[in-house]
């Protein structure tokens, strides 16, 4: 699908069918300047998590020859960033998925590059525990002190791209 078709599909809030009976909807956001700045700061903080994970992982791998696993990195970086904890975990999981996929490609004899570049912005992800619906508004958690989520919630994941 061309970029133009993707953009018009996204503008209409088009529903796409994914595997496993999951549907994905894309909605454009029209944010006020202060909300847009907040969204950008969240994406910058997610990028800081990515950069820290990459630095720690590469440091241990290249300097000591130790492969630190995902759980160790999560424990090491817990509470060090100003993003929702599930977002930080999602960034760490994404980094390790990229690393594992590249490692598998190398084992199969194909070319691939391990994650190497520092990010300035990164997609932020909220899992079901950080998503709240209040009337017709969607509220995304950014830390402690939020009310419990309503029953019957069908939204499983939200990404700020």
Q: Write the CB contacts of 70 (distance below 8 Å, at least 6 apart in sequence).
A: 92, 93, 96
Q: How confident is the model at residue 5 (pLDDT cuts 50, 70, 90)?
A: very low
Q: Write the CB contacts of 112 (distance below 8 Å, at least 6 apart in sequence).
A: 101, 102, 105, 106
How does DSSP assign 33-61, residue by residue?
Answer: HHHHHHHHHHHHHHHHHHHHHHHHHHHII
- The tens digit of pLDDT for each residue in 103-144 reads 999 999 999 898 889 999 998 888 877 787 777 777 787 766
Cα separation, 160 vs 40, whole angstroms: 9
Cα Rg of the chain (Å, integer): 18
By three-state DSSP, how is residue 139 classified? Answer: strand
| C-alpha distances out from residue 157 to 32, 33, 58, 70, 90, Å | 23, 25, 29, 21, 11
Cα separation, 98 vs 114, whole angstroms: 7
- The tens digit of pLDDT for each residue in 43-101 reads 999 999 999 999 999 899 889 998 899 999 999 999 898 888 888 999 999 999 999 99
What local confidence, expressed as pLDDT, does residue 44 receive? 94
Q: How confident is the model at residue 4 (pLDDT cuts 50, 70, 90)?
A: very low
pTM of the model: 0.75
What local confidence, expressed as pLDDT, does residue 124 receive? 87
């Amino acid at each position: 699908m061309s970029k133009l078709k993707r953009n018009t599909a996204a503008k209409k809030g088009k529903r796409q069918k994914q595997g496993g009976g999951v549907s994905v909807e894309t909605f454009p956001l029209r944010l006020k300047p202060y909300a847009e700045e907040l969204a950008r700061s969240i994406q910058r903080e997610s990028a800081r998590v990515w950069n820290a994970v990459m630095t720690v992982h590469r440091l241990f791998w290249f300097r000591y020859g130790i492969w630190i696993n995902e759980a160790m990195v999560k424990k090491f970086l817990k509470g060090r960033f100003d993003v929702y904890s599930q977002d930080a975990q999602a960034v760490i999981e994404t980094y390790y998925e990229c690393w594992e996929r590249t490692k598998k490609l190398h084992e199969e004899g194909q070319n691939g590059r391990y994650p190497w570049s520092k990010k300035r912005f990164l997609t932020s992800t909220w899992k079901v525990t950080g998503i709240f619906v209040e009337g017709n508004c969607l509220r995304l958690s950014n830390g402690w002190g939020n009310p419990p989520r309503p029953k019957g919630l069908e939204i499983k994941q939200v990404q700020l791209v």
